[in-house]
């Protein structure tokens, strides 16, 4: 059906012909009668990675195929979302091995973006936990691949933005938990230097990330809050929680019902929010036990929070810089502060080593920033790209809506290898998106 689609950033929006499928033959039929198509999950990538003239929604291909509760192995079709999986596995004492900051993404999307979580420095990205998966490739054949079977297809599919084909089935390993709670520690950092020192100090924690107030100048430049956590043990829970340590009470969700006018989030309101967020922690350090949901998915509590940026939408700018190049962080934050383009959300996190073909993470620091779309923004981001390149970093394709093709080709060392594998499995450019055309991967 022809409809207007946009991903989470509401930018860009375009008219797409989208179809659904619940049986493999149906998607085979669709791709046999179309010359180009891209798979689309729950539309939570931010930019144009899953936009194309023709898209196949995987959302109805969402069946659970097997769940080994003894060894923690989960097998499912690609359209199931992580929130549904959590509802099934948490009560049985299992958790996702890796989860991004929203649970409203599909498993297919998790693979295609090779998502990372707050535990990347310990557990790596999602691809490291995949046992095997099925992909319908360009010659309409379903191929089972893993790190040892068709490894070229496997590694070009993990983080490959759907350009090798349509991911239909995934089998992956889970993480054992004893409670549905997290033992959380929040520590205030007075500035960026302090924050980076804290990251080093707390690097043994499984989960860590920091929120940064990017509008501060002078001595408080880059002040923020480091948040670290571990899965809580039953002994750490209070009496009430211990009665059913793997169950969480259902909570009502708030929603932003429509697009807010774009002036709502301006420098003043962002400043006020960041100021309050920083000051609400009156003590330097706070320790508490909280359910896993607010720890991993704080923004999921407000459905459609993306509408807060107004009709024009926003772009999320996420880059990573190598560990030894942290001065690049200062250079970029300085530029943002100078331009007065405060980001409502600024999240800093440390990545561990990553050994994959085209996935985003590399050992270093990654910063994610939101910018409402407005005049002059893209020129400004092009300048930030130059700094990222200069320090040997790169941008996250799942957040990208505007990167110039040369930035991609210069910053991803395996870009050519990736393009070659796409040629092998998607030689007729059957699978292509607005993003892949823009980055000259399918042009």
Partner 1 sequence: MPTVLILGAGSDMAVAIARQFASNKFDIQLAARNVASLSALEQDLQIRYGVTASSHTFDATDFTGHAAFYTALPQPPDVTISVFGYLGSQERGQSDWNEAARILHTNYTGAVSVLNIIADEYAARGAGTIVGISSVAGERGRLSNYLYGSAKAGFTAYLSGLRNRLAHKGVHVLTVKPGFVYTRMTENMKTPAPLTAQPQDVAKDIYNAVKAKKNVIYTRWFWRYIMLIIKSIPEGIFKKLKL
Q: Which is nearer to partner 1, 15 or 269 (CB)?
A: 15
First to last CA, the chain: 26
Secondary structure class of 442 (helix, strand, coil): coil
Q: CB of residue 154 vs partner 1: minimum separation in angstroms?
A: 23
Closer to partner 1 by Cβ: residue 64 or 256 = 64
- Are 326 and 282 spatial neighbours (Cβ–Cβ below 8 Å)? no
CB 217, CB 275: distance < 8 Å: no
Interface with partner 1 by CB under 8 A: which residues? 1-2, 19-23, 26, 60, 62-67, 77, 84, 88
Name the minimum Å distance from CB 310 to partner 1: 21
Q: Distance between CA 113 and CA 127 in Å, rounded?
A: 9
Among 403, 389, 343, smallest CA distance to 367 is for: 343
State in angstroms the smallest separation of the CB of 65 from partner 1: 5
Query: 66 or 249, CB closer to partner 1?
Result: 66
| Residue (67 or 202) nearer to partner 1, CB | 67
Tell me the CB-side half-sphere exposure of residue 406, using CA atoms within 13 A. Answer: 4
Which residue, among 144, 137, 139, has the nearest Cα to 162 in the 3D structure? 137
Cis peptide before 12 (omega within 30 of 0): yes
What is the nearest approach in angstroms of partner 1 to the Cβ of residue 421? Answer: 29
For partner 1, the closer CB: 77 or 306: 77
Q: Which residues are 321's β-sheet partners?
A: 365
Whichever of 23 and 35 has its CB closer to partner 1, that residue is 23
What's the closest the beta carbon of residue 252 comes to partner 1, in angstroms?
Answer: 18
CB 319 within 8 A of CB 403: no
Cβ proximity to partner 1: between 26 and 53 the closer is: 26
Q: Are 342 and 272 in contact (CB under 8 A)?
A: no
CB 349 within 8 A of CB 209: yes
Measured CA to CA, the distance from residue 377 to residue 306 in angstroms comes to 18
The minimum distance between CB 183 and partner 1, in angstroms, equals: 29
Least gap, CB of 25 to partner 1 (angstroms):
8
C-beta of 23 vs 428, nearer to partner 1: 23
The residue (of 18 and 236) whose beta carbon lies closer to partner 1 is 18
Widest pairwise Cα distance in the chain: 62
C-alpha triplet 352, 297, 268: angle, nearest 5°: 95
Tell me whether residue 18 or residue 194 sits nearer to partner 1 (CB atom). 18
CB of 50 to partner 1, least distance (A): 18
CA separation for the pair 352, 124 (Å, rounded): 7
Least distance from partner 1 to the Cβ atom of residue 64, Å:
5
Smallest separation (angstroms) from partner 1 to the CB of 102:
20
DSSP 106-162: BHHHHHHTT---TTHHHH--GGGGEEEEEEE-TTS-EEEE-SSSSHHHHHHHTTSTT
């Amino acid at each position: 059906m022809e409809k207007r689609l946009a991903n989470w950033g509401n930018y860009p929006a375009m008219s797409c012909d989208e179809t659904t499928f619940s049986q493999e033959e149906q998607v085979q039929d669709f791709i046999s009668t179309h010359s180009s198509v891209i798979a689309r999950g729950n539309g939570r990538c931010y930019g144009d990675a899953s936009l194309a003239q023709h898209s196949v929604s995987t959302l109805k291909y969402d069946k659970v195929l097997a769940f080994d509760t003894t060894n923690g192995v989960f097998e499912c079709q690609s359209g199931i979302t992580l929130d549904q999986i959590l509802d099934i596995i948490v009560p049985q004492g299992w958790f996702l091995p890796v989860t991004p900051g929203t649970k409203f993404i599909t498993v297919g999307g998790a693979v295609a973006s090779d998502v990372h979580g707050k535990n990347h420095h310990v557990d790596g990205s999602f691809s490291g936990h995949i046992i095997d998966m099925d992909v319908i490739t360009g010659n309409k054949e379903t191929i089972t691949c893993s790190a040892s079977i068709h490894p070229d297809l496997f590694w070009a599919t993990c983080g490959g933005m759907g350009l090798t084909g349509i991911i239909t089935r995934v089998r992956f390993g889970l993480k054992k938990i004893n409670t549905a709670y997290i033992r959380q520690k929040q520590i205030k950092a007075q500035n960026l230097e302090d924050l980076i020192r804290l990251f080093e100090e707390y690097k043994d924690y499984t989960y860590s990330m920091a929120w940064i107030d990017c509008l501060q100048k002078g001595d408080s430049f880059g002040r923020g809050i480091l948040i670290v956590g571990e899965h809580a043990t039953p002994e750490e829970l209070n009496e009430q929680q211990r009665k059913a340590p793997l169950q969480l009470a259902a909570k009502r969700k708030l929603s932003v019902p429509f697009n807010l006018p774009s002036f709502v989030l301006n420098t003043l309101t962002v400043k006020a929010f960041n100021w309050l967020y920083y000051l609400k922690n009156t003590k330097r350090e706070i320790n508490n036990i909280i359910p896993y949901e607010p720890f991993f998915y704080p923004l999921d509590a407000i459905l459609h929070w993306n509408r807060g940026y107004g009709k024009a939408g926003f772009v999320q700018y996420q880059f990573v810089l190598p560990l030894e190049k942290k001065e690049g962080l200062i250079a970029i934050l300085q530029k943002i502060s100078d331009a007065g383009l405060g980001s409502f959300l600024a999240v800093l996190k440390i990545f561990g080593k990553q050994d994959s073909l085209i996935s985003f993470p590399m050992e270093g620091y990654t910063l994610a920033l939101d910018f409402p779309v407005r005049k002059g923004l893209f020129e400004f981001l092009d300048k930030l790209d130059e700094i990222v390149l200069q320090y040997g970093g790169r941008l996250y394709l799942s957040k990208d809506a505007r990167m110039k093709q040369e930035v991609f080709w210069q910053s991803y060392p395996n870009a050519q290898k990736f393009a070659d594998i796409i040629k092998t499995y998607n030689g007729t450019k059957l699978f292509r998106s607005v993003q892949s055309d823009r980055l000259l991967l399918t042009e």
